[in-house]
Structure 1
Protein backbone atom coordinates (compact mmCIF):
# COMPACT_ATOMS: atom_id res chain seq x y z
CA UNK A 1 0.00 0.00 0.00
CA UNK A 2 2.84 2.40 0.75
CA UNK A 3 4.19 1.91 -2.78
CA UNK A 4 0.78 2.90 -4.14
CA UNK A 5 0.70 6.00 -1.93
CA UNK A 6 4.21 6.98 -3.08
CA UNK A 7 3.16 6.52 -6.71
CA UNK A 8 0.07 8.63 -6.10
CA UNK A 9 2.20 11.35 -4.49
CA UNK A 10 4.58 11.35 -7.46
CA UNK A 11 1.68 11.65 -9.91
CA UNK A 12 0.10 14.48 -7.91
CA UNK A 13 3.47 16.21 -7.84
CA UNK A 14 3.59 16.03 -11.64
CA UNK A 15 0.10 17.48 -11.93
CA UNK A 16 1.08 20.24 -9.52
CA UNK A 17 4.23 21.03 -11.52
CA UNK A 18 2.27 21.28 -14.76
CA UNK A 19 -0.38 23.46 -13.12
CA UNK A 20 2.17 25.79 -11.48
CA UNK A 21 4.46 26.20 -14.49
CA UNK A 22 2.24 25.95 -17.57
CA UNK A 23 -0.21 28.73 -18.37
CA UNK A 24 -1.98 26.55 -20.91
CA UNK A 25 -2.52 23.87 -18.26
CA UNK A 26 -4.27 26.41 -16.04
CA UNK A 27 -6.35 27.57 -19.03
CA UNK A 28 -7.40 23.99 -19.85
CA UNK A 29 -8.30 23.30 -16.21
CA UNK A 30 -10.44 26.44 -16.06
CA UNK A 31 -12.08 25.58 -19.40
CA UNK A 32 -12.85 22.10 -18.06
CA UNK A 33 -14.34 23.57 -14.91
CA UNK A 34 -16.49 25.95 -16.99
CA UNK A 35 -17.67 23.02 -19.13
CA UNK A 36 -18.62 21.08 -15.98
CA UNK A 37 -20.51 24.05 -14.55
CA UNK A 38 -22.39 24.46 -17.83
CA UNK A 39 -23.09 20.72 -17.81
CA UNK A 40 -24.67 21.08 -14.37
CA UNK A 41 -26.78 24.01 -15.58
CA UNK A 42 -28.18 22.09 -18.56
CA UNK A 43 -28.44 18.79 -16.63
CA UNK A 44 -26.43 16.48 -18.85
CA UNK A 45 -27.27 12.80 -19.09
CA UNK A 46 -24.72 10.25 -17.80
CA UNK A 47 -23.41 9.40 -21.28
CA UNK A 48 -23.02 13.09 -22.09
CA UNK A 49 -21.08 13.56 -18.83
CA UNK A 50 -18.85 10.64 -19.74
CA UNK A 51 -18.04 12.16 -23.13
CA UNK A 52 -17.41 15.65 -21.69
CA UNK A 53 -15.20 14.30 -18.89
CA UNK A 54 -13.28 12.12 -21.33
CA UNK A 55 -12.67 15.12 -23.60
CA UNK A 56 -11.44 17.17 -20.61
CA UNK A 57 -9.16 14.32 -19.51
CA UNK A 58 -7.70 13.94 -23.01
CA UNK A 59 -6.82 17.65 -23.22
CA UNK A 60 -5.29 17.80 -19.74
CA UNK A 61 -3.37 14.57 -20.36
CA UNK A 62 -2.10 15.88 -23.71
CA UNK A 63 -0.98 19.11 -22.02
CA UNK A 64 0.88 17.13 -19.37
CA UNK A 65 2.57 14.93 -21.98
CA UNK A 66 3.52 18.10 -23.84
CA UNK A 67 5.05 19.47 -20.63
CA UNK A 68 6.99 16.23 -20.11
CA UNK A 69 8.27 16.32 -23.71
CA UNK A 70 9.35 19.95 -23.31
CA UNK A 71 11.18 19.21 -20.05
CA UNK A 72 12.94 16.15 -21.49
CA UNK A 73 13.93 18.00 -24.66
CA UNK A 74 15.24 20.94 -22.62
CA UNK A 75 17.36 18.54 -20.58
CA UNK A 76 18.67 16.62 -23.59
CA UNK A 77 19.18 19.65 -25.82
CA UNK A 78 19.62 22.88 -23.85
CA UNK A 79 20.78 24.64 -27.01
CA UNK A 80 18.42 25.45 -29.87
CA UNK A 81 18.31 22.52 -32.28
CA UNK A 82 15.90 21.90 -35.18
CA UNK A 83 15.06 18.37 -34.03
CA UNK A 84 14.35 19.60 -30.49
CA UNK A 85 12.07 22.27 -31.96
CA UNK A 86 10.25 19.65 -34.03
CA UNK A 87 9.67 17.44 -30.97
CA UNK A 88 8.23 20.39 -29.04
CA UNK A 89 6.12 21.55 -32.00
CA UNK A 90 4.63 18.10 -32.56
CA UNK A 91 3.74 17.74 -28.88
CA UNK A 92 2.14 21.20 -28.90
CA UNK A 93 0.23 20.26 -32.06
CA UNK A 94 -1.19 17.21 -30.30
CA UNK A 95 -2.52 19.45 -27.53
CA UNK A 96 -4.04 21.81 -30.11
CA UNK A 97 -5.86 18.97 -31.87
CA UNK A 98 -7.19 17.60 -28.56
CA UNK A 99 -8.33 21.06 -27.43
CA UNK A 100 -10.09 21.93 -30.70
CA UNK A 101 -11.89 18.59 -30.89
CA UNK A 102 -12.85 18.86 -27.21
CA UNK A 103 -14.29 22.33 -27.83
CA UNK A 104 -16.33 20.93 -30.72
CA UNK A 105 -17.56 18.08 -28.50
CA UNK A 106 -18.52 20.60 -25.83
CA UNK A 107 -20.42 22.72 -28.33
CA UNK A 108 -22.23 19.70 -29.75
CA UNK A 109 -23.28 18.39 -26.34
CA UNK A 110 -23.73 21.51 -24.21
CA UNK A 111 -24.50 24.03 -26.95
CA UNK A 112 -28.05 23.02 -27.95
CA UNK A 113 -29.52 22.74 -24.43
CA UNK A 114 -27.75 25.95 -23.41
CA UNK A 115 -29.18 27.68 -26.49
CA UNK A 116 -32.71 26.49 -25.61
CA UNK A 117 -32.24 27.66 -22.05
CA UNK A 118 -31.56 31.25 -23.10
CA UNK A 119 -33.52 31.56 -26.37
Structure 2
Protein backbone atom coordinates (compact mmCIF):
# COMPACT_ATOMS: atom_id res chain seq x y z
CA UNK A 1 0.00 0.00 0.00
CA UNK A 2 2.83 2.44 0.78
CA UNK A 3 4.41 1.94 -2.64
CA UNK A 4 1.21 3.12 -4.29
CA UNK A 5 1.04 6.22 -2.08
CA UNK A 6 4.65 7.04 -2.85
CA UNK A 7 4.01 6.53 -6.56
CA UNK A 8 1.08 8.95 -6.45
CA UNK A 9 3.11 11.49 -4.50
CA UNK A 10 5.90 11.38 -7.10
CA UNK A 11 3.29 11.72 -9.85
CA UNK A 12 1.93 14.79 -8.07
CA UNK A 13 5.35 16.40 -7.94
CA UNK A 14 5.91 15.58 -11.61
CA UNK A 15 2.50 17.04 -12.55
CA UNK A 16 3.21 20.23 -10.60
CA UNK A 17 6.48 20.65 -12.50
CA UNK A 18 4.93 19.69 -15.83
CA UNK A 19 1.84 21.89 -15.60
CA UNK A 20 2.94 24.93 -13.59
CA UNK A 21 5.28 27.48 -15.17
CA UNK A 22 6.15 28.94 -11.75
CA UNK A 23 7.21 25.50 -10.53
CA UNK A 24 9.61 25.25 -13.47
CA UNK A 25 11.06 28.64 -12.49
CA UNK A 26 11.50 27.42 -8.90
CA UNK A 27 13.26 24.24 -10.08
CA UNK A 28 15.65 26.20 -12.32
CA UNK A 29 16.30 28.65 -9.46
CA UNK A 30 16.96 25.73 -7.13
CA UNK A 31 19.53 24.26 -9.52
CA UNK A 32 21.25 27.63 -9.92
CA UNK A 33 21.41 28.03 -6.13
CA UNK A 34 22.75 24.50 -5.62
CA UNK A 35 25.47 24.90 -8.26
CA UNK A 36 26.36 28.35 -6.91
CA UNK A 37 26.64 26.87 -3.41
CA UNK A 38 28.93 24.16 -4.68
CA UNK A 39 31.01 26.70 -6.62
CA UNK A 40 31.34 29.02 -3.62
CA UNK A 41 31.96 26.08 -1.24
CA UNK A 42 29.38 27.14 1.32
CA UNK A 43 29.56 25.65 4.81
CA UNK A 44 27.38 22.73 6.01
CA UNK A 45 25.27 25.00 8.25
CA UNK A 46 24.70 27.30 5.27
CA UNK A 47 23.57 24.30 3.22
CA UNK A 48 20.98 23.56 5.88
CA UNK A 49 19.49 27.03 5.51
CA UNK A 50 19.62 26.86 1.71
CA UNK A 51 17.92 23.45 1.69
CA UNK A 52 15.28 24.71 4.13
CA UNK A 53 14.61 27.77 1.98
CA UNK A 54 14.33 25.66 -1.18
CA UNK A 55 12.00 23.19 0.54
CA UNK A 56 9.75 25.95 1.89
CA UNK A 57 9.36 27.51 -1.58
CA UNK A 58 8.73 24.18 -3.34
CA UNK A 59 6.22 23.09 -0.71
CA UNK A 60 4.43 26.44 -0.84
CA UNK A 61 4.25 26.35 -4.65
CA UNK A 62 2.98 22.77 -4.65
CA UNK A 63 0.28 23.58 -2.10
CA UNK A 64 -0.62 26.74 -4.02
CA UNK A 65 -1.05 24.67 -7.18
CA UNK A 66 -3.31 22.21 -5.36
CA UNK A 67 -5.38 25.01 -3.81
CA UNK A 68 -5.77 26.76 -7.16
CA UNK A 69 -6.85 23.51 -8.85
CA UNK A 70 -9.40 22.78 -6.11
CA UNK A 71 -10.70 26.34 -6.35
CA UNK A 72 -11.12 26.00 -10.12
CA UNK A 73 -13.19 22.85 -9.61
CA UNK A 74 -15.36 24.35 -6.87
CA UNK A 75 -15.96 27.70 -8.56
CA UNK A 76 -16.91 27.28 -12.21
CA UNK A 77 -17.40 31.01 -12.78
CA UNK A 78 -15.62 34.14 -11.62
CA UNK A 79 -16.16 34.60 -7.92
CA UNK A 80 -14.71 37.05 -5.41
CA UNK A 81 -14.24 34.31 -2.82
CA UNK A 82 -12.35 32.14 -5.34
CA UNK A 83 -10.16 35.12 -6.17
CA UNK A 84 -9.41 35.67 -2.48
CA UNK A 85 -8.52 32.00 -2.00
CA UNK A 86 -6.12 32.05 -4.95
CA UNK A 87 -4.59 35.38 -3.94
CA UNK A 88 -3.99 34.21 -0.38
CA UNK A 89 -2.34 30.95 -1.49
CA UNK A 90 -0.21 32.88 -3.99
CA UNK A 91 0.73 35.23 -1.16
CA UNK A 92 2.09 32.26 0.78
CA UNK A 93 4.40 31.47 -2.14
CA UNK A 94 5.52 35.09 -2.26
CA UNK A 95 6.32 35.05 1.46
CA UNK A 96 8.28 31.80 1.06
CA UNK A 97 10.18 33.28 -1.89
CA UNK A 98 11.03 36.43 0.06
CA UNK A 99 12.31 34.25 2.91
CA UNK A 100 14.43 32.26 0.45
CA UNK A 101 15.80 35.41 -1.15
CA UNK A 102 16.79 36.81 2.25
CA UNK A 103 18.55 33.55 3.13
CA UNK A 104 20.32 33.63 -0.23
CA UNK A 105 21.47 37.22 0.21
CA UNK A 106 22.77 36.56 3.73
CA UNK A 107 24.72 33.49 2.60
CA UNK A 108 25.85 34.34 -0.92
CA UNK A 109 26.55 38.09 -0.96
CA UNK A 110 29.48 37.99 1.50
CA UNK A 111 30.98 35.02 -0.36
CA UNK A 112 30.62 36.68 -3.74
CA UNK A 113 32.17 39.90 -2.42
CA UNK A 114 35.18 38.03 -1.00
CA UNK A 115 35.43 35.85 -4.13
CA UNK A 116 35.93 38.83 -6.41
Q: Which runs of 5+ in 2 are unaligned?
A: none
Q: CA RMSD in A?
A: 0.8
2:43 maps to which of 42, 45, 69: 45
Q: Which runs of 5+ in 1 are unaligned?
A: none
- The alignment's TM-score, normalised by the length of structure 1, stands at 0.94
- The alignment's TM-score, normalised by the length of structure 2, stands at 0.96
The number of aligned residues is: 116
| Alpha-carbon displacement from aligned partner over 1:72-103 (angstroms, at most 9, x marks no partner) | 00011111110000000000010011101101
Q: Secondary structure at the match of 1:48?
A: helix
C-alpha distance in 2 between matches for 1:67 and 1:45: 33
- After the TM superposition, which parts of structure 1 deviate over 2 Å for at least 4 consecutive aligned residues? none
The match for 1:4 is 2
2:78 maps to which of 67, 77, 80: 80
The match for 2:95 is 97
